[in-house]
Amino acid sequence: MATSELFIIVLLLIYMPSINTAAVTTTATTVPPPKFPAIIVFGDSTVDTGNNNYIKTLFKANMPPYGENFPGHVPTGRFSDGKLVPDFVASFLRIKDKVPPFLKPNLSENELRTGASFASAGSGFDDFTTKLSNVIPVSKQVDMFKSYVDKLKGVVGKDKAKNIIGEALVIISAGTNDFLFNFFDIPTRRLEFDVDEYQHFLLQKLEYFLTELYELGCRKMVVAGLPPIGCLPIQMTAKFEIQTDRKCLEDENSDARSYNKKLGKLLPELQAKLPRSKIVYADVYEPMLDMINHPQRYGFVETRRGCCGTGLLEASFLCNPLTPVCRNPSRFLFWDSVHPTQQAYIYLADYLVNRVLPRFHI
């Protein structure tokens, strides 16, 4: 069977979650990050801390070897060997040690006061992205957030809840799945749009979503751009018949760059329309590419395949208790064929805290 044909079968099976990552650097900034009382998170698998555990979908990470480096060595639904960027950011900012999924039963009052993740692995801005997977699209995550607001009011009162939400750090990380599932690999939307039109369609969805969050009281928001999608191990697997000759796919990377340019232009324009808002763009493309092209700077020895199994196709239930894993995940950029390792997420969170969040002072 040709590699491309095998990939489509796997894709249809797992409807893989996406990667959206913050840029990487360990250079400190002279401007400290602002203080936030809570952290609120929306998006896909890169920021889903376990919501998919509580919905009817195949796309879960609640079994080993996922979580093997998480405290207690337990799988939590996070698509990595350990914690995700929101967990590390919350810890770095001294908000809490980890960000709970909103759908976790019986969230404590303190967990509600300090925020939660509403993200769902496999999600996107385009509702069509989740039709096969039955996960929670970004547009429906706002409904979960409304429920959270009501619960928060019940815990701290209406005025205090308004203050917490207005001062909270809001992180949005999505978009990659939309291109993978609707344009590159299963070209459903390509029957309706060219790439420029589809980018515009997604940005309209994002603008509406951010406006909804603003109307619910959110004021401080970070929006991640797309990574170099063509460098995901599973994308290279899909396109290369000879797997020893793996390299990033320039056409997909070019589309990601053009989307990011439009996103970077949109966010300041939207901020100008929303009084007292601060909407910060996190350019993830170039820093992620630097990690891939210069792994030695970050202590990585492998950037073109994942740690789980062959690292070429495994993700979600294909990375399972029977799947062998590499000996030292911290030397791999990717944990499975799509998602970074905990070690990579530490670098990404460090960048976000030291380089992106200080822009809220400007």
**SS3 call for 334:** strand
* Separation between Cα atoms, residue 347 and residue 122, nearest integer Å: 23
Residue for token pair 């796997």: 10
Q: List the one residue out of 292, 308, 232, 338 whose CA is nearest residue 69.
A: 308
* Separation between Cα atoms, residue 265 and residue 273, nearest integer Å: 14
Residue 5 neighbours by CB under 8 Å, 6+ apart: none
Q: What is the DSSP letter of 330?
A: G
| CA 273 to chain centroid | 26
Question: Cis ω on the peptide bond leading into residue 340 (within 30° of 0)?
Answer: no
* Separation between Cα atoms, residue 225 and residue 128, nearest integer Å: 20
How far, CA to CA in Å, does 121 sit from each of 60, 310, 361?
8, 22, 32
Other Cβ atoms within 10 Å of 270 Cβ, number? 18
73 is catalytic: no
Sign of the alpha-carbon torsion through 323, 17, 330, 291: positive
Number of Cα atoms under 13 Å in the Cβ half of residue 84: 30
Q: Which two tokens stand for residue 84?
A: 């995700």
Q: What is the DSSP letter of 311?
A: S
Q: Which two tokens stand for residue 55?
A: 């919905």
Q: List the one residue out of 301, 304, 289 whose CA is nearest residue 343.
A: 301
Q: Which two tokens stand for residue 152?
A: 């928060």
Q: Which two tokens stand for residue 103?
A: 């759908």
Catalytic residue among 48, 120, 337, 339: 339
Catalytic residue among 48, 87, 255, 336: 336
Catalytic residue among 45, 120, 123, 337: 45
336 is catalytic: yes
Q: Which two tokens stand for residue 197?
A: 């039109």
| Cβ atoms of residues 245 and 324 within 8 Å | no
What amino acid positions are annotated as catalytic residues?
45, 336, 339
